[in-house]
Amino acid sequence: MQIVYKRCCGLDVHKESVAACLLIIDEDGEYHVEKRRFRTMTRNLRELGTWLHQQGVERIAMEATGVYWRPIWNVLEPLGIEMLLVNPHHIKNVPGRKTDQIDSEWIAELLQHGLLRGSFVPPAEIRQLRDLTRYRVHLKQDRNRIHNRIHKVLEDANIKLDCVATDILGVSGRRMIEGLIEGWRGPEWLADYARSHLRKKIPELRRALKGRVTEHHRRMLKELLGDLDSVDAKIIRLEQQIVEEIRPFDDLIERLCTIPGINVVTAWTIIAEIGADMSAFPDADHLVSWGGLCPGLNQSGGKRNSARTRHGNRYLRRALCQSAWAVSHTKDNYLAALFYRIAARHGLKKANVAVAHQILRIVYHIIRDSGIYREIGGDFFDRLHPERTKNRLIRRLEKLGHRVVLDPPQQGFPRNQPL
List where CATH 1.10.287 sits in the chain.
Answer: 126-245
3-state DSSP assignment of residue 185: coil
Q: What is the pLDDT of residue 408?
A: 75
Q: What is the pLDDT of residue 302?
A: 61
Q: What is the pLDDT of residue 185?
A: 79
Helices (H) and strands (E) in the chain, counts: 16, 7
| CA separation for the pair 48, 87 (Å, rounded) | 22
- Residue pLDDT, tens place only, 222-241: 999 999 999 999 999 999 99
Q: What is the pLDDT of residue 299?
A: 55
**What percent helix, strand, coil does the chain show, rounded to 5?**
55, 10, 35
Q: In sequence order, which residues have a C-beta less than 8 Å from that of residue 275 and are 6 or more positions away?
A: 122, 123, 126
Query: Which residue ranges in the chain fall short of pLDDT 50?
Result: 415-419
Q: What is the pLDDT of residue 306?
A: 57
What Cα–Cα distance (Å) separates residue 191 from each residue in 161, 194, 208, 209, 310?
Answer: 10, 6, 9, 7, 50
Q: What is the pLDDT of residue 223?
A: 97
- Check if the beta carbon of residue 53 is closer than 8 Å to that of residue 30: no
Cα dihedral sign for 120, 124, 126, 128? positive
Domain covering 126-245, topology: Helix Hairpins (1.10.287)
DSSP string, 140-184: HHHHHHHHHHHHHHHHHTT--GGGT-S-TTSHHHHHHHHHHHH--
Domain covering 7-112, topology: Nucleotidyltransferase; domain 5 (3.30.420)
- Residue pLDDT, tens place only, 237-259: 999 999 999 999 999 999 999 99
Q: What is the pLDDT of residue 188?
A: 87
